[in-house]
Amino acid sequence: MKALVIEDDNNIAELLRLYLEKDGFQVRIADDGATGIAEAKVYEPDLVLLDIMLPILDGWEVCRAIRKTSKVPIIMLTAKGETFDKVTGLEMGADDYIVKPFEVKELLARVHAVLRRYGHAQEPEGKKLTFDKLVINMESYELVVDGRKVDAPPKELELLFHLASSPNRVYTRNQLLDEVWGFDYFGDSRTVDVHIKRLREKLENVSPSWSLKTVWGVGYKFELMHPDMS
């Protein structure tokens, strides 16, 4: 499995290389944003560790550029005390973030959690759900709405699939953070709210037989009015 580290601090980059290589990764390093984007295209990594403060192009710009052509898992690296807007990171396509200095166990736990969510672990059967005018296909990571493919980041698809797998069940925000993201966002429920809002923009008024519902004071559910799931 291949990892790309985009980090301009040589000591941190080599430390990351050491940790990841011990864990079985092949590692390539880029020390500025522009090089990082180029390496992501040619190296085709399975994982990107991306510093925010980079020369030439910052981590936000790099994340946005990579997301235009790739769904590779991206973990942002931020120095303690730096301003890090988690919602901004999520909207740009980041999957997780970790604060420097970090513990090896924490870093590797987050790496493996992200990779599991992207299907680098064996996936169970039944990764496709079909409703009226809606297909959620987690084998190909595709969302088809009213007969046409709709662009949706991996985390949006995973959230929708999780909700739709148990129609009419209400999930709290914390349950969704635990079960979809697989790590604690320190109680910041905006993570879930942002993704629900973006999904609603793509799904609203498509079919009268299902909808994404807010259960006030509790959380969210995929409401199925006419059980036509196959």
Query: Is the model more confident about 42 or about 108?
Result: 42
Contact between 154 and 141 under an 8 Å Cβ cutoff? The reply is: yes
When pLDDT is cut at 50, 70 and 90, the band that residue 116 belongs to is: confident
For the chain, give every residue range classified as CATH 3.40.50.2300.
2-117
Kindly report the number of other CB atoms within 10 A of residue 143's CB atom. Answer: 22
- pLDDT at position 198 is 94
Query: Is the model more confident about 81 or about 75?
Result: 75
- pLDDT at position 223 is 93
Structurally, what CATH architecture does the domain formed by 128-224 represent? Answer: Orthogonal Bundle (1.10)
When pLDDT is cut at 50, 70 and 90, the band that residue 122 belongs to is: very low
pTM over 0.75: no
When pLDDT is cut at 50, 70 and 90, the band that residue 112 belongs to is: confident
What superfamily in CATH does domain 2-117 come from? Answer: Response regulator (3.40.50.2300)
When pLDDT is cut at 50, 70 and 90, the band that residue 103 belongs to is: confident
Residue-wise pLDDT for 40-58, tens only, equals: 999 999 999 999 889 999 9
Tell me the CA distances in angstroms from 47 to 20, 96, 179, one per residue in order. 11, 12, 21
Residue-wise pLDDT for 76-94, tens only, equals: 988 765 655 566 666 677 8
When pLDDT is cut at 50, 70 and 90, the band that residue 65 belongs to is: very high
Element containing residue 156 per DSSP (H, E)? helix 154-164
For the chain, give every residue range classified as CATH 1.10.10.10.
128-224
How far, in Å, CA of 77 to CA of 211, rounded? 36
How far, in Å, CA of 14 to CA of 126, rounded? 41
Strand ordering across the sheet containing 47-51: 26-30, 2-6, 47-51, 74-79, 96-100
What is the rounded average pLDDT of the residues 196-206? 93
Kindly report the number of other CB atoms within 10 A of residue 187's CB atom. Answer: 9
When pLDDT is cut at 50, 70 and 90, the band that residue 154 belongs to is: confident
The CA-to-CA distance between both ends of the chain, in Å, stands at: 35
